[in-house]
Amino acid sequence: MNNDHAMAIVCDLALCIGREVTLDALLTKVLQRFMHHCATPVGAVLQQQREGYKLLKVIGDEQLRQHTGTTLPLPGWVSEEEHCLLQQTLPLPGSRPYQFAYRLKVEGGYLILLLAPQPHQQIVPVCHLFSPVLGNLARAISLCKDSELLALRQQAELKDLKHFNESLLKAIPIPVFYKDIEGRFLGCNQAFNQVIGIGKEALLGRRVEELLPVGLAEAYSMREAELLRSRQPQCIEQQLHDRNGMRYQVICFKDLFYDHQGMVAGIIGTLVDITRLKESEHHQRELLFQTISALASAISHKDRNSAGHELRVRDLALAIGQAMQLRQERLDALGLAAMVHNIGLLQIPTEIITRPRELRPVEFELIKQHPQAGHDILKQIDFPWPIATLVLQHHENLDGSGYPQGLAGNAITLEARIIRVADSLIAMTSHRPFRRAMPLSDAFAELTRYAGIHYDEKVVNSCIVLWQTGYHFGPPISQLADKAG
């Protein structure tokens, strides 16, 4: 064997060692190349143990391969020389007899046997030839073992994490679910199964289109598409039905989860049942309406000539607010503020309020104190809306000529501007002891004349359009009862 041939063998083995990343693949490939270069039909890799040699890998002998993993009590002379002509058959269980063997010792207690049934006429100097790569092989074996140990630890950690997440999902009392980016359910906890009335196995792989009515499913799909597009968490309040058909209110929180590469892997969501909270809020709202009605009744008893004024202002203000497409939250605040906008009159002497003539300037100055007085009364009540502020501003004019603060423009809340218009219209079209009720057409002319000066133009226009489309003064008390219920 010339130097070029020897160098080619070494390069072949070096490349083979450098390519494999698992111990089994490394031993298989290296053993095959050793067998090829030494022209032996059978190869085995063993590792020295206290009680003998553990058989790790066998190629070329199927019967012997079946004993992989067992420990063999090999005679000491097998590993003493780089090759040996066996004086007797090598005692390998279940294998055919071998009369010749090359052996290579690798650091770490590894032994490579290259076996042949008959002695070779031309002996390959294996230790000399393969010594340049045996050190690399030992290091490669060590790296593969370390890599596999690390992989096993990572698999164990992933398994532990999976068990922890499963336990966590079970422990969470609210429904939790997660889906892939196509909207197919990947999993959920027991609370979610109980809510929807479908078992976990039946749920997996299904989409909302298969579970919900068409309209509701489309709404879900649109919101999830928006979540995937914007990548912003969602918090949506909605009404659902349980498996018994009972309605309940929930807040649905949704967000994305990501894989190890930072790519979107799916959607995770929770449902928080707020039915009792909503019922409590409804009860509190009922109490608020009752309180406001009582306050409005107190104002009516103060001045019999303006009885029903607050209720009519409330109805008209709400109609204007709805026409201007205010959110329900703002409509609730508007209605309550309109009901008590004159609560400050309780602190004004009754003889001034009920005087059957026009008020003198000094008397009117007293009347002008009622927005501030109303504010001072209402600010002590913990309303969920700025009722006291709306009452304080309901006599402010757009040009700053109103009272009590002389606010102008957008410094006046929209709700207060709506109450200003509704209050003025109801007052102008109502009978008073010192003047007759103004015809509706004249009242509209007055509103139009001062639109942009005292009154908000958009509010005035919305008010006029209401009458053009059929609005009229109805029985406000019954309307209040209907809306409160």
Domain boundaries, the chain: 3-149, 174-273, 278-484
275: pLDDT strictly greater than 50 = yes
Q: Are strands 110-116 and 247-258 parallel, antiparallel or unpaired?
A: unpaired
Check: CATH 3.30.450.20 for 174-273? yes
Write the burial class of residue 347 (CB in 10 Å: 0-12 exposed, 13-18 middle, 19+ buried). middle
**Cα(388)–Cα(196) distance, rounded to whole angstroms?**
44
Predicted pLDDT at 226:
92
Assess whether the region 3-149 and the region 174-273 belong to the same CATH fold: yes
Tell me which amino acid residue 401 is.
S
| Residue recorded with tokens 């160098």 | 7
403 close to 395: Cβ distance less than 8 angstroms: yes
Lowest mean pLDDT among 31-35, 82-86, 167-171, 396-400: 82-86
CATH number for 278-484 (one of 3.90.25.10, 1.10.150.120, 1.20.120.1200, 1.10.3210.10): it is 1.10.3210.10
Give the model's confidence band at 155: pLDDT under 50 very low, under 70 low, under 90 confident, else very high: very high
Buried b / exposed e across 51-87, counting CB within 10 Å, b at 16+? eebbbbbbbbbeebbebeeebbebeeebbeebbbebe
What are the phi and psi torsion angles at 348 (to 5°)? -95, 135
pTM for the model: 0.50
Lowest mean pLDDT: which of 184-188, 221-225, 350-354, 451-455?
A: 350-354
Question: What local confidence, expressed as pLDDT, does residue 441 receive?
Answer: 92
Cα–Cα distance measured from residue 130 to residue 148, given in angstroms and rounded to the nearest whole number:
26
Q: Which of 113-127, 142-156, 329-343 has the lowest mean pLDDT?
A: 113-127
pLDDT at 476 over 50: no
Tell me, what's the pLDDT at 484? Answer: 38
Instruction: Name residue 271's beta-bridge partners.
Output: 252
Distance CA 328, CA 430 (A): 29
At residue 122, does pLDDT exceed 80?
A: no
pLDDT digits (tens, 9 = 90+) for 176-231: 999 999 999 998 998 888 877 788 888 899 988 888 778 778 888 899 999 999 99
Fold exhibited by the domain 3-149? Beta-Lactamase (3.30.450)
Residue 366 has, within 13 A of its CA and on its CB side, a CA count of: 13
- More confident position, 306 or 274: 274
In 78-207, the DSSP E strands lie at: 83-85, 100-106, 110-116, 176-180, 185-188
Q: Name which of 142-146, 303-307, 396-400, 474-478 the model is least confident about.
A: 474-478
Bond into 386 cis (ω within 30): no
When mean pLDDT is compared across 316-320, 342-346, 429-433, the lowest value belongs to: 429-433
